[in-house]
Chains A and B, each alone.
Chain A
Amino acid sequence: TQLLEQSPQFLSIQEGENLTVYCNSSSVFSSLQWYRQEPGEGPVLLVTVVTGGEVKKLKRLTFQFGDARKDSSLHITAAQPGDTGLYLCAGAPYNQGGKLIFGQGTELSVKP
C-alpha cells in the first residue's frame, strides 16, 4: 500500500511567522501536487512538481520536490490570515491510471 505521510496535521501560528509542511513517502511519484482547500469547497491546485530537486515559488509559497521524487515540502514565508485553510499534498504513482495518493492534510490557522 502506497502512503504519503503529511505533517504536521494541525498548525496554529501568528501572522508574520514562517512555516513548513512536509510530505514523505517510500514510493516514487511521477509528479506531486499541492492543493489548498477551504471549508465547503473543492481543493484548488497550487502547484505541480515533476522533476527531482525541483523548486517552485508562488509569491510567499515555496515548493520543493525531493531529489528521489519521494518527498516534498511547502514553505510559507510571513504567513497571513488569508493563508488559513487545509493544505493537501497528492502524489501520482507510476502506472496507476492517473490516481493520486493524498496525504492526511495540514489544517493551517493563521491568527492576526
Chain B
Amino acid sequence: QKEVEQNSGPLSVPEGAIASLNCTYSDRGSQSFFWYRQYSGKSPELIMSIYSNGDKEDGRFTAQLNKASQYVSLLIRDSQPSDSATYLCALWMDSSYKLIFGSGTRLLVRP
C-alpha cells in the first residue's frame, strides 16, 4: 500500500472556481501534513502545513485534515491560471524522521 496517494489528474477548473485536491495516507500515526506546489521543472514550494483535525485557512488556500479517515485536502478558492501546477501532498514520518511525498495532482486553471 502506498504511503501517500493522490489522483494524478489533471484536474481542470475554470478561472475563479474552487479547486479541490485530495490525498489519502496509510500511516495512522502521522501527525504533520504539508501541501507543496511544484511548477514544471522547478522545486517544490511549501504552501501550507496542517497538524490538527479540521480546517486551516491561509488566503485563498484551505487545508482540511481528517485523521480518522486518513484524508487531507487542499481547497483553492478563486483559482487563477497562475495556480496551474502540480500539487504535492506530503506527510512527516515520525518513525523514520523524514517527509514522504505523494505523486502529485496536476491542476489546470482555464482562463
A binds B: no
